[in-house]
Amino acid sequence: MTFRHRHLLGIEPLSPDEIATILDLAGTYVDLNRSAEKHAPALAGLTQINMFFENSTRTQASFEIAGQRLGADVMNMAMQASSIKKGETLIDTALTLNAMHPDLLVVRHPQSGAVDLLAQKVNAAVLNAGDGRHEHPTQALLDALTIRRAKGRLHRLTVAICGDIAHSRVARSNIWLLGKMESRIRLVGPPTLIPSGAAEWGVEVEHDMARGLADADVVMMLRLQRERMDGGFIPSEREYYHRYGLDAEKLSCAKPDAIVMHPGPMNRGVEIDGTIADDINRSVIQEQVEMGVAVRMAAMDLLARNLRAAASA
Amino acid sequence: MDLIFRDARLIDPERAEERRGDLFVSGGVVVDVPPPDADIVECRGKCLAPGIVDLGVKVSEPGERHKESFRSAGRAAARGGVTTIVTRPDTEPAIDTPEVLEFVARRAQADAAVNVLPMAALTKGRQGREMVEIGFLMDAGAVAFTDCDRVVEDTRVLSRALTYARGLDALVVGHVQEPGLSRGAAATSGKFASLYGLPAVSPMAERMGLDRDISLLEMTGARYHVDQLTSARALPALDRAKRNGLDLTAGVGIHHLTLNELDVAGYRTFFKVKPPLRSEEDRLAVIEAVAGGLIDIVCSMHTPQDEESKRLPFEEAASGAVGLETLLPAAMRLVHAGHLELPALWRALSLNPARRLGLAAGRLAAGAPADLVLFDPDAPFVLDRAALASKSKNTPFDGARMEGRVLGTWVGGARVH
């Protein structure tokens, strides 16, 4: 079992072995979470602080439950309402928190690279819960665990990632992860929502859903932010739904056993048809949420082991 | 002070040659015959060249003296072989009235060890709405007019300012960027910026800005210098405009000649400059343009920023890097890599900027001011940013191995370093 990192800042620095290590451990936590007694002592005595500089309900709740099930003292700080409004810099906030000796810091920030910056200034293990458009590693890990459980493997799959790739950290982390696991990645969306230079990432780029979904094992839909729909990136919500919204007809281009994923929260009728999202034979969206807790437990457990090893060394 | 520089490797950009020999200085200027009773400077075959004329240096006076003062900038310049700094007006407040300019000139005169020539803003407050008092500011000593990194977006405002400037034969220095495309950008678009998730701009925005300004020059006939041209696809437009006889020159900052977009990896804000660092292909094309003379001027784009403004998430962090002290050793990388010879480099560092500003500097001929730098082009060192004379230490070269050490700097025949 190898996992040699102090922080979990992104998928980019992880090796395939390390990714497998996290997923294997997460698998055991899935079983724990499904049992009646959901507690394990892996983080007992440790303090976990969730710092969200950007709104989040789901991810924050997931990290909170993960920490509590492993026995950590969990504290949530709504950073938007706090000192950041008073002009304190990110680094000062980090140093202030650092003085309280947290062991695990879970951080979400609207700017790319901000979590890396913060990690340089604190002693705690930092988990990136999403930084700007850069990375959202636990989302990619929970997606990978979901895929692995549904398909039995992560290699040699064709995965179509559809929608607003340009503004999506989920897409970037998934591209890193699936690339490392040697799956074939297809980015599908209107050209305005495909980041420039994406074709040089070792992925295929398609602007047509039928071609993009052809023979896909996994169809990963991304959330389209409301503020992108004002005619700036796409002409209208209805044109987007017509061309890129996932409905039964478009899904029929994928393999018959293809699974449908979405990181949530969904815009039903914008990027995904409600009946697809609710189809228990195709959609694994609820399972993704479940895997999220397990993956976060595994990631925090591994980081805490490294923390303890470093402290006793 | 009369001087004899004995046995130097003389770098003469005017004659586009280097030769081994002596150089004589009397009364603050270069002379043909050895003056009697002169002090001897033994050069032992090291390089002696005209001092660098650095066009576009930010000294943070008035307003932010904690970032850089005339005293600290002057010291940094002397240590870097820069004998003339041409200062930018993007201070707080902007240098846009004769009164502020006179204050700056007085402070520079009192504190700086090297020649300081101030530029003034082109529009009031650098707001791009009304032109400044170009005539009064010239009388007060402004050598050029620029809104620095702010593009005058209103084309009518710029065309009138250029027309008025032409009437006074004033030099206008512009920043070429299409403002809509480049709004909010922190990196150059492409696979790397996209991977890092940074808002980015295509280098094509630079060409669009250049194309607009070239059209305005055809309309107005103004004297115009592009502060920094950093992308391959802007170069043919520059070449055409020059061939068409427009009074147009272009410069580039040293960081765009020595670094590329990959250096931004890890969100290192000391590598955040404006325009953002480009691809390796752009870097090489721009070096070639400097070597061939299409790009006229190489400068440091010295921009002091304190730690607070750099220790922020990349998008929020301030742009710019200090460069007065590192310009010469960084430029030596181009020589050591075989991109260009020392006389051609000094044409861009010294002769061309001096000519563009109507100065007699930049030459070694008799009558030229004895603004000189003696340096060892091969002496290796590791840069320690804490040792910089600038008050701000925001250099991208911290910890870098460099070659090229300044051994002595003279301004008007007086040793300043």
Q: Residue B73's pLDDT band (boundaries 50, 70, 90)?
A: very high
- The DSSP letter of residue B352 is H
Residue of chain A with shortest Cα separation from B267? A113
Of how many residues is chain B composed? 417
A45: left (phi over 0), alpha (psi -120 to 50) or beta: left
Predicted confidence at residue A90, as pLDDT, reads 86
Cα–Cα dist B147/B296, whole Å: 20
Sequence letter at residue A109: H
Provide the pairing of β-strand B145-146 with B200-201.
unpaired
User: A120 near B182, Cβ under 8 Å?
Assistant: no
User: A135 near B194, Cβ under 8 Å?
Assistant: no
Does B306 contact A at CB distance below 8 Å? no
Least CB-CB distance to A114: which of B190, B194, B313? B313
Residue of chain B with shortest Cα separation from A121? B311
The residue whose two tokens read 């070597």 is B291
Question: Which is nearest to B326 in space by CA: B302, B310, B348?
Answer: B302
DSSP letters along B228-266, please? ----GGGHHHHHHHHHTT--EEEEEEHHHHH--GGGGTT
DSSP-derived 3-state class of residue B215: helix
pLDDT digits (tens, 9 = 90+) for B19-67: 999 999 999 999 999 999 999 999 999 999 999 999 999 999 999 999 9
User: A61 near A89, Cβ under 8 Å?
Assistant: no
Whether residues A134 and B314 touch (CB distance < 8 A) is answered with no
Q: Residue A191 corresponds to which tokens in the numbers above? A: 């050209």
Whether residues A109 and B313 touch (CB distance < 8 A) is answered with yes
Predicted confidence at residue A231, as pLDDT, reads 66
Does B386 contact A at CB distance below 8 Å? no
Q: Residue A49 corresponds to which tokens in the numbers above? A: 């602080």
Distances (CA, A) of A43 to A73, A145, B223, B397: 8, 22, 69, 42
Helices A137-151 and A58-69 sit at what angle, rounded to 10 degrees?
A: 80
A·B CB contacts under 8 A = 68
Does A116 contact B at CB distance below 8 Å? yes
Chain B residues whose beta carbon lies within 8 Å of the beta carbon of residue A113: 196-198, 267, 313-315
Q: A89: distance to nearest CA of chain B, Å?
A: 7
Q: A80: distance to nearest CA of chain B, Å?
A: 16
User: B233 near B280, Cβ under 8 Å?
Assistant: no
What count of other Cβ atoms lies within 10 Å of the Cβ of residue B173? 24
User: B269 near B317, Cβ under 8 Å?
Assistant: yes
Does A266 contact B at CB distance below 8 Å? no
- The DSSP letter of residue B347 is I
- For B205, phi then psi, to 5°, come to -60, -30
Q: Kind and range of the H or E element at B405?
A: strand B401-411
Does A200 contact B at CB distance below 8 Å? yes
Distances (CA, A) of B300 to A54, B80, B132, B286: 38, 10, 26, 15
User: A164 near A222, Cβ under 8 Å?
Assistant: yes
In B259-346, alpha helices (H): 280-292, 307-310, 327-336, 342-346
Q: Is B401 exposed, middle or buried (0-12, 13-18, 19+ CB in 10 A)?
A: exposed
Residue of chain A with shortest Cα separation from B188? A196
Q: A234: distance to nearest CA of chain B, Å?
A: 17
Does B307 contact A at CB distance below 8 Å? no
Cα–Cα dist B230/B254, whole Å: 10
Best mutation target among B191, B280, B309 (most A Cβ atoms within 10 Å) is B191
Chain B residues whose beta carbon lies within 8 Å of the beta carbon of residue A131: 197
User: A138 near A131, Cβ under 8 Å?
Assistant: no
Whether residues B198 and A198 touch (CB distance < 8 A) is answered with no
pLDDT digits (tens, 9 = 90+) for B345-391: 999 999 999 999 999 999 999 999 999 999 999 999 999 999 999 99
- The DSSP letter of residue B290 is H
Predicted confidence at residue A232, as pLDDT, reads 85
Sequence letter at residue A53: F
Chain A residues whose beta carbon lies within 8 Å of the beta carbon of residue B312: 89-91, 117
What count of other Cβ atoms lies within 10 Å of the Cβ of residue A280? 9
Q: Kind and range of the H or E element at B159?
A: helix B155-167
Q: How many CA atoms lie within 13 A of B148 on its CB side?
A: 27
Chain B residues whose beta carbon lies within 8 Å of the beta carbon of residue A89: 308, 311-312
Q: Which of residues 194-253 of B touch A (CB under 8 A)?
A: 194-198, 200, 202
Q: Residue A14 corresponds to which tokens in the numbers above? A: 């992880």
Cα–Cα dist A190/A166, whole Å: 10
Provide the pairing of β-strand B248-253 with B223-226.
parallel
DSSP-derived 3-state class of residue B204: helix
Predicted confidence at residue A172, as pLDDT, reads 97
Whether residues A114 and B197 touch (CB distance < 8 A) is answered with no
- For A88, phi then psi, to 5°, come to -70, 140
User: B215 near B191, Cβ under 8 Å?
Assistant: no
pLDDT digits (tens, 9 = 90+) for B131-178: 999 999 999 999 999 999 999 999 999 999 999 999 999 999 999 999
Does A64 contact B at CB distance below 8 Å? no
Per-10-residue mean pLDDT of chain A, 313 residues long, equals 91 97 98 95 96 91 98 89 66 89 95 94 96 97 98 97 96 98 97 93 96 98 79 87 96 97 92 94 96 98 95 85
Q: What is the mean pLDDT of chain B?
A: 97
Does pLDDT of B227 surpass 60?
yes
Question: Which is nearest to A97 in space by CA: A87, A107, A86?
Answer: A107
Query: ipTM score of the complex?
Result: 0.86
User: B121 near B94, Cβ under 8 Å?
Assistant: yes
Provide the pairing of β-strand A218-221 with A158-162.
parallel
DSSP letters along chain A, please? -----S-B--STT--HHHHHHHHHHHHHHHHHHHSS-----TTTT-EEEEEESS--SHHHHHHHHHHHHTT-EEEEEEGGGTGGGGT--HHHHHHHHHTT--SEEEEEESSTTHHHHHHTT-SSEEEEEEETTTB-HHHHHHHHHHHHHHHS-SSS-EEEEES--TT-HHHHHHHHHHHHTT-EEEEES-GGGSPTTGGGGT-EEES-HHHHHTT-SEEEE-PPPGGGTTTTSSS-HHHHHHHHSB-HHHHTTS-TT-EEE--S---BTTTB-HHHHH-TTTB-HHHHHHHHHHHHHHHHHHHHHHHHHHHH-
**Mean local confidence (pLDDT), B78-103:** 97
Whether residues A113 and B311 touch (CB distance < 8 A) is answered with no
Does pLDDT of B327 surpass 80?
yes
Whether residues B197 and A172 touch (CB distance < 8 A) is answered with yes
